[in-house]
Structure 1
Amino acid sequence: MTDTWLDSLRKVLPARFRGDRVTIPVVRLNGVIGQVSPIRPGLSLAGLSATLKRAFAIKKAPLVAVVINSPGGSPVQSNLIFKRIRALADEKNKDVLVFVEDVAASGGYLIALAGDEIIVDESSIVGSIGVVSAGFGFVGLIEKLGIERRVHTAGENKAMLDPFQPERPDDIQHLKSLQRDVHDMFIDLVRARRGTRLGDEPTLFTGAFWSGRRAVEIGLADRIGDLHGVLRARFGDKVDLLPIQPRRGFFSRFGMSPASRAGAGADLVEAGLAAIEERSLWSRFGL
């Protein structure tokens, strides 16, 4: 009688309170990394810090699952998110399993390196270990419109790479030097995290990207699989996935960051260009 009563009680309790169940917190990282525009915030440490902390705070969880679907973005925010995940994993003594959905490229792959294991779909797009800087030039346009550009600076390089002025060779050289520094950091991180799992692929650090199956072959990922299948194979049918989602304010539900609410209509041109640039990041991978 007692066992029957206890079994009935377990069925109505939330999964995390049932002693016979394994709860796995799941954090989903979807989208471009960094602030896309004032009214289109992307993935950032500030936006994810509390979510990650809640995921790793679940004491009985043997690991944390991170699901990534990102074409990249800000290298700084990518690195900060990576470091935060690793710091929490070490502090709470938990493994991290990373699951790649459509794409983990560039900064998206950098974050994926936080996983003790990287699991991909056969058709996932993985890699793009490089650095890119893209923008628009409006010199010809403002000339056609008869607009005169006036810039006054204290410091000869203060207006470096101004899109309304012709590019200067010295500016481009300086930008490429910065990109090399970031690229070197990215390469060092890949080698440190993947170690002897990396294969002999000559184009590994050229910015090329591969299918999930090929990524496993060259050591950028560990195996083919999916979130539900892998966790059930590891823990059996008594595994419960617990999505850990950001707590969003009223305006955030409509895609507006706190900084943008006061002047949502002031930067429409910038927002439009940012949307085009965001779209271009996804379209590079056929998405």
Structure 2
Amino acid sequence: MEYETDGKSRRSRWFGKRSTGLDFAGMTPEQTHQAITSLMVSDMLKERRSDRRWRAVRRVITALFLLAGIGVYLATLFYEPKTGPLLKDADGYLGVVRITGAIKNSSNASAEKVVPALNEAFADPKVKAVVLSIDSPGGAPVEAERINFAVGELKKRHKKPVYAVIQNIGASAGYMIAMHTDKIYAGRYSLVGSIGAALQTWDVHEALNKRDVRHQVYASGDLKNMLNPFSPPSEAAGRKAQELVDNAGGQFFAEFKERRGSKLKEGVAYDTGEVWSGEQALKLGLVDETGTIEQLAYANNANVKEFKPGSRAILPAFTMEAASAWLSSVIANAMHGVAEASPVAFR
């Protein structure tokens, strides 16, 4: 610290009469030094008190942000937000049950997961109609059969209409479920149809032969090993496989004609496995109207309430744990498909 003197008084560049309230005139150098030291200590104490106050304020603010973050996270776990339009004068809900992805016993579109959601939606007194939101390329016919049975029984018990809204795709077993509702909607760009059945398996015996690897099976009958991917298919196995898919596809087509017969067009081959756009499907009688869940909600003056499985929540869309689980399931399914015969599926 530097002092400037004029012979009569000493003044500090930092401390003066105006800022400190002290007059250093007439003080000895020792007194001036003591006064300045006292002022510096006092100023340091004030700064420390101010720092402590700001640290306390920062801690409180940080704690509030952490509590708010925890609150938002907990809300995402237990709160199911409504989606779709929010109508001011709406007097009820459309209860949406999502059937998304392949319809099989290990997916969210399985009967084990969809049927409980249907029970909740039908039982909710505020739900005025149940909507099946379908976005599926197809899958196992027995899973679709179970879901269809549940829909039929719940309609009788609760006397509520059931609609199907096809999102991006409602094909094969996905469309079979839609057929069992009171009305089918589809977007103009949706893909609809694929009426038929398919039986899939791998044939890798040539690849094994190149590696000089042989797979030996002892079976009790000629067709017991018919879909083994490690053995060359026989003519009898091919005939049997075709018989299975023809039978399943024929049942599907007969049910389709029974459910949609009055709306179908003459001369159209509906059983080729073809898919159509939503607008084409409307003209051909596969759907009743083009529209989305939002349009359906406005038409019924209702908000949308979703039921699990597949209900939307504000959760991180991607995590390493989710990615790892997804990759593991893909590998496991691929290996399972190689090792075992695939069941008949509506695809």
TM-score > 0.5 by shorter chain = yes
> Which deviates more, 65-74 or 186-195?
186-195
Q: Confirm or deny that 1:108 pairs with 2:174.
A: yes
- In structure 1, which of residues 220, 226, 238 is the aligned counterpart of residue 286 of structure 2? 220
**Separation in 2, partners of 1:271, 1:145:** 24
Query: Equivalent residues in 2 for 1:62-211 (5 A)?
Result: 62-211=128-277
Q: Confirm or deny that 1:243 pairs with 2:243.
A: no
Shift, 1:20, TM fit: 6.4
Give yes or no for contact 1:125–1:210 (8 Å, CA) kept in 2: yes
Please state whether the residue corresponding to 1:135 is helix, strand or coil.
coil
**Separation in 2, partners of 1:189, 1:149:** 41
Query: Deviations along 1:222-280, whole A, 9 cap, x unmatched?
Result: 11111111221222xxx2211001399xxxx95999xxxxxx97x9854235799xxxx
1:153–1:246 Cα change, 3 Å: same
**Separation in 1, partners of 2:307, 2:336:** 28
**Separation in 1, partners of 2:145, 2:90:** 37
Please state whether the residue corresponding to 1:123 is helix, strand or coil.
coil
Give yes or no for contact 1:28–1:68 (8 Å, CA) kept in 2: yes
1:68–1:123 Cα change, 3 Å: same
**Separation in 1, partners of 2:110, 2:323:** 14
**Separation in 2, partners of 1:149, 1:213:** 50
Q: Confirm or deny that 1:26 pairs with 2:88.
A: no
Query: Deviations along 1:59-82, whole A, 9 cap, x unmatched?
Result: 342210110000011122122212
- The answer for unaligned runs of 5 or more in structure 2 is 1-80, 83-87, 312-320, 339-346
- In structure 1, which of residues 48, 56, 70 is the aligned counterpart of residue 122 of structure 2? 56
Please state whether the residue corresponding to 1:155 is helix, strand or coil.
coil
**Separation in 1, partners of 2:330, 2:274:** 34
**Separation in 2, partners of 1:156, 1:77:** 29
**Separation in 2, partners of 1:223, 1:151:** 53
> Which deviates more, 190-199 or 68-77?
190-199
Give yes or no for contact 1:41–1:256 (8 Å, CA) kept in 2: no
1:139–1:20 Cα change, 3 Å: closer
Q: Confirm or deny that 1:41 pairs with 2:41.
A: no
**Separation in 1, partners of 2:297, 2:102:** 27
Partner of 2:17: none
Shift, 1:85, TM fit: 1.5
Partner of 2:296: 230
Give yes or no for contact 2:265–2:284 (8 Å, CA) kept in 1: yes
Read off the aligned partner of 1:21 and give its amino acid letter: D
* % identical aligned pairs: 27
Read off the aligned partner of 2:213 and give its amino acid letter: I
TM-score (ref. length: structure 1): 0.76
Give yes or no for contact 1:71–1:104 (8 Å, CA) kept in 2: yes
Read off the aligned partner of 2:94 and give its amino acid letter: I
Partner of 1:272: 334
Partner of 2:52: none
Shift, 1:100, TM fit: 0.6
Please state whether the residue corresponding to 1:62 is helix, strand or coil.
strand
1:272–1:161 Cα change, 3 Å: closer
**Separation in 1, partners of 2:172, 2:138:** 5
Shift, 1:196, TM fit: 0.6
TM-score (ref. length: structure 2): 0.64
Shift, 1:130, TM fit: 0.9
Query: Deviations along 1:170-218, whole A, 9 cap, x unmatched?
Result: 1111111111221121112112221311122422121111110010001
Please state whether the residue corresponding to 2:300 is helix, strand or coil.
helix
1:156–1:145 Cα change, 3 Å: same
Give yes or no for contact 1:26–1:243 (8 Å, CA) kept in 2: yes
Superposed CA RMSD in Å reads 3.0
**Separation in 2, partners of 1:107, 1:208:** 14
1:31–1:153 Cα change, 3 Å: same
1:231–1:19 Cα change, 3 Å: closer
